[in-house]
């Protein structure tokens, strides 16, 4: 069950990641992920996962002015372009602005061109690192 949930969480983040900057209602997310096969999360699952993702700061919740519906999008402050993803549980953590800037600096020193995309570091989170 826990693994199943992790898969859906990852799919959800991938979906939002490929549409970064766009906001979606839960219904739009469910519709957009319909093509993901049998693992595609149900509406109630998306609601639950979104609540978690908003709580840990991965996703930002806004209210659409016209429809008055909650809309969600990936949190990506323009100066906070580095995130860490746990390779075990899939949790995503934001790196604070100053560290992000330093990481980007190091990366470009190694010859990479800094892009507008998020830099993702694959890590083991504290929880998973202990087990």
Per CB under 5 A, residues contacting Zn ion are 86, 88-89, 125, 128
In this complex, which beta carbon is closest to Zn ion, that of residue 71 or of residue 86? 86
In this complex, which beta carbon is closest to Zn ion, that of residue 77 or of residue 129? 129
For residues 28, 82, 53, 39, the Cα torsion angle rounded to the nearest 10 degrees is: 60
Least distance between Zn ion and beta carbon 59 (Å): 17
In this complex, which beta carbon is closest to Zn ion, that of residue 30 or of residue 94? 94
Euclidean distance between the first and the last CA atom of the chain, given in angstroms as a whole number: 18
Which residues are bridge partners to 60 per DSSP? 73
Strands annotated E in the chain: 59-63, 70-74, 82-86, 92-94, 119-123
Least distance between Zn ion and beta carbon 108 (Å): 29
In this complex, which beta carbon is closest to Zn ion, that of residue 54 or of residue 88? 88
Least distance between Zn ion and beta carbon 14 (Å): 17
Least distance between Zn ion and beta carbon 10 (Å): 12
Contacts of 27 (CB under 8 A, 6+ apart): 43
């Amino acid at each position: 069950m826990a693994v199943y949930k992790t898969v859906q969480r990852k799919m959800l983040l991938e979906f939002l990641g490929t549409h970064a900057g766009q906001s979606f209602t839960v219904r739009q997310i469910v519709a957009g992920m319909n093509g993901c096969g049998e693992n595609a999360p149900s509406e109630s699952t998306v609601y639950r996962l979104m609540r978690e993702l908003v709580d840990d700061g991965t996703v930002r919740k806004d209210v659409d002015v016209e429809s008055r519906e909650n809309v969600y999008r990936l949190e990506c402050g323009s100066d906070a372009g580095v995130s860490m993803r746990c390779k075990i549980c899939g949790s995503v953590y934001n790196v604070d602005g100053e560290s992000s800037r330093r990481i980007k600096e190091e990366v470009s020193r190694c010859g990479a061109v800094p892009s507008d995309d998020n830099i993702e570091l694959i890590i083991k989170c504290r929880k998973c690192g202990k087990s």
